[in-house]
Structure 1
């Protein structure tokens, strides 16, 4: 218990989820489960709830619920088939370490097997009120609705409380229910003994898996939903926390979708002043994403599949970022030269090849601090959570010091004016969960999929810029190390 309270102290102000990757199981062969020929319209909501970072009240929850209703109506007016809201979007993050508050705000969420629409129930109890209203929202608007709730389950006359995603179909029926397995400092809540493997089918031909925030870092259930259950997409409520140089929200979400080759519908909790922002609709070869520099709400509506629109970035710099400890990375400075350069940099058993050429015309070489970062080993977050990672990347750094590669964007603004005439990174990795990790210093969002080529053969992975590129902040291969 003392250890859990230490974790809570570390995350109580900063948020619930930091995007890390952890080993859990052996690699599987890469498979793609994406359906072909299907098309649907998805909506995700970046939401800043009333009562955030304070002791939220039931009145605050009611106001947030009204806002949800407005967004659902707006999504349906744009012919959306499915809408996703963020983790802790109704209750704020306040209850995660306050058991009494979590219990007060918790709701009964019927199991899908009960085959019921709460909207049609005559249950008027307070602990069913929000569930019922959400069901009616889905039914009245004829839309699939994914919402994160605090779920109450009575066992031996004692309440168990879960961080739960509920999925309602167009008739308001609960068709899926997922309880977050990998809790992050959420000491007020209970965790299941084994992870829920939650999927649901839709009338537009897609099968989705359901996970929440920190779950995305583990093989079970996230990768298993893709590799074993062969889902076509993932719905992903999250309370994200951006970290440089590899794990800002849109950067990490785009990387995961591209690496896993499935749709990812990510809805983020909004509080940029502490680093919480980032939502998007990600699909093969394109995405629509946002990163916000100030507090606010935003709905993203995008067609997915046949007839979908081109990539759209509505990302802005200005959100807070954490810094990864880079002390264990091997680093080597890039040479600023018009001549082609080739470097091999190793960390433990991982060796990365970097081929590049920088257009040095008119540049002050002393102010250019790109470095190659390579790491193969174990990372520990908050002195508790272990993750085995393998990384090969080029990063814009604030100075010649390695740790400066994790400093905020405003410390390496020179990168916006540096043109890479060519850039390619490759390496042999020891697992199958390798992602194309990119970040643009112009808009603090990921590079567009058409700007680079990502390929693999067995465990050999490569990422290559397709054209001369400026504004590169991070460009590389990031492995979960599952």
Structure 2
């Protein structure tokens, strides 16, 4: 039951009206601190958490959610002690992913969230023990007590007329614990227990340190709306990105996709990933054009990154390791051609798919490898892809990939099946193509650490008429994926 002081009662009554109103629609803990370059003139400290939630799958309870809230408290306090202005927690970090396909469980763990456009009130100022308000209340208090902007993902319940709707929702609290923004995930990856809005939310918020943020969730990264629209139409400086990504070869492992998006969009990305490597979920970082700090873990654990965004540029930090599970893209629609390695001389090759042509200029140094044991293939695509069985996305891809064999599907095999790349060096490599759109990303992946290449290892340029090129300037072995990747346009 609730207990209130009389002065609080009228305030609570008012906020409840807004809560029920709806517009249509044991892990290890580590800390890292680095400096990164910002695209804005304002600097700030950003904290992101790779989080391994407590609570067994198939048996997630309110008690497990409370345990995870206590872990959130520890990370928030640590982030604040390191000077963080904002902290981002992952998608499904409080509940694990288990509720997204179980409506009864999702409903049980769901929360009411105040309308940020309604009363400007901090839930922390309300006295409540109601299960469907407690999580929001405690998150609000974490933000207020630590004087920090806080972004958390939860399952939001909404009463729309006589219907109960459930959303995968990011909630943003300011330093006073007020709810200043909320975003309901539009592109659901399965998640059959949840609803999505009729049209995508466009969610932004402005901080007291002069930075405008956009808000998206996980699979939304693959589509133009609302993700690219946030950057192109609303001029955000950075995007907060809670995620429970499932890594996919050869183009969409988590840190690979995050780094590519930030570099291609020329905007900062604060990505917080859920940690479950045995099922393919890991990948967290702070990314900016020209520099990033990213982690991917091969074992269960939690990690806090605190990075200064703004000021002088520092070296990128890639703390990734192989061993996480990967899915495999269906490459049937791609055109494929093995690179000719004869003589080890500089070569140029062209491959087209549906009138879209990719040009590769390269020279390999095989080292101790025999040419018959090395198989890099060009992969080219201009077609639609159906994601999650319901979302169509136009794709154009121009890339080279280390493949374990001659068939297309061999180019999406696990890293362990194409180990030759760890001993091969590209003395020269440039990929170029003329795209039909201006949403092109530099997609890179190393077999040495199963993470993206540092930006210092390549040049990514765009010329007149959407002609893009990607030039490798590193001298390390281990190149697994290197290409120009366009999706969701």
TM-score in same-fold range (> 0.5)? yes
**1:329 maps to which residue?**
334
Structure 1 runs (4+) deviating above 6 angstroms are: none
In 2, Cα distance between equivalents of 1:265 and 1:35? 13
The CA deviation at 1:153 is 1.6
Q: Which residue is equivalent to 1:214? A: 219
State the Cα deviation string for residues 440-464 of structure 1 (Å, max 9, x = none).
0110000000000000023100000
Question: 1:174-216: per-residue Cα shift (whole Å, max 9, x none)?
Answer: 1111111112221211211221110000111110000111111
Structure 1 segment 130-279 matched on structure 2, within 5 A: 130-279=135-284
Q: Tell me the alpha carbon deviations over residues 393-433 of structure 1, each in whole angstroms, 9 at most, x when there is no partner.
A: 01001122221110000111110110100000000011111
* Counterpart in the other structure of 1:346: 352
Number of equivalent positions: 449
The alignment status of 1:105 with 2:112, answered yes or no, reads no
**Alignment pair present for 1:371 and 2:374:** no
2 CA distance for matches of 1:133 and 1:359? 57
Which of the residues 303, 307, 317 maps onto 2:308?
Answer: 303
Which residue in the other structure is 2:319 paired with?
Answer: 314
Name the SS of the counterpart of 1:127 in structure 2: helix
Shift in Å, 1:328: 1.6
Secondary structure of 1:255's aligned partner: helix
Determine the structure 1 residue equivalent to 2:396: 390
Q: Distance in 2 between matches of 1:119 and 1:271?
A: 31
State whether structure 2 residue 470 is matched by structure 1 residue 463: yes
TM-fit CA distance, 1:308: 5.1
Contact 1:329 1:375 in 2 (8 A): yes
Give the whole-Å Cα distance in 1 for the aligned partners of 2:368 and 2:282.
36
- In the alignment, is residue 407 of structure 1 matched against residue 423 of structure 2? no
Does 1:422 find its partner at 2:404?
Answer: no
1:127 aligns with 2:136: no
State the distance in 2 between where 1:162 and 1:363 align.
52
Unaligned runs of 5+ in 2: 1-37
TM-score (norm 2): 0.90
1:439 equivalent to 2:428? Answer no
Displacement of 1:363 in angstroms is 2.6
C-alpha spacing 1:52/1:42, structure 2 compared with 1 (3 Å): farther
Is contact 1:338–1:359 with CA below 8 Å preserved after alignment? yes
CA deviations 1:59-93 (Å, max 9, x no partner) are: 00000000000010111111111110011110111
- Does the CA contact (< 8 Å) of 1:302 and 1:308 recur in 2? no
Structure 2 counterpart of 1:69: 73
Aligned counterparts of 1:35 and 1:422: Cα–Cα separation in 2: 30
**Is the Cα contact below 8 Å between 1:369 and 1:398 reproduced in 2?**
yes
Contact 1:52 1:93 in 2 (8 A): no
Q: Deviations over 1:140-170 (max 9, x none)?
A: 1111100001111223344221111000011
What residue ranges of structure 1 are gaps of 5+ in the alignment? 1-33
Q: Which protein is bigger by CA-based radius of gyration?
A: 2
Alignment correspondent of 1:12: none
- 297-306 or 434-443, which moves further after superposition? 297-306
| Distance in 2 between residues matched to 1:143 and 1:361, nearest whole Å | 52
What is the CA–CA distance in structure 1 between the aligned matches of 2:280 and 2:132, rounded to whole Å?
32
User: Matched residue of 1:470: which SS?
Assistant: coil
Alpha-carbon shift at residue 217 of structure 1 (Å): 1.3
Q: Indicate the larger mover: 307-316 or 420-429.
A: 307-316
Which deviates more, 251-260 or 47-56? 47-56
Aligned pair in 2 of structure 1 residues 273, 467: CA closer, same or farther (>3 Å)?
A: closer
Q: What's the secondary structure of 1:228's corresponding residue?
A: helix
The alignment yields a C-alpha RMSD, in angstroms, of 1.3
Is the contact between residue 303 and residue 309 of structure 1 (CA under 8 Å) also seen in structure 2?
Answer: no
Q: 1:362 to 1:96 in 2, by over 3 A?
A: closer
Query: Quick check: 1:422–1:468 contact (8 Å CA) kept in 2?
Result: no
User: 1:310-355: CA deviations, max 9, x gaps?
Assistant: 2111100000101111122111111224311000111112101100
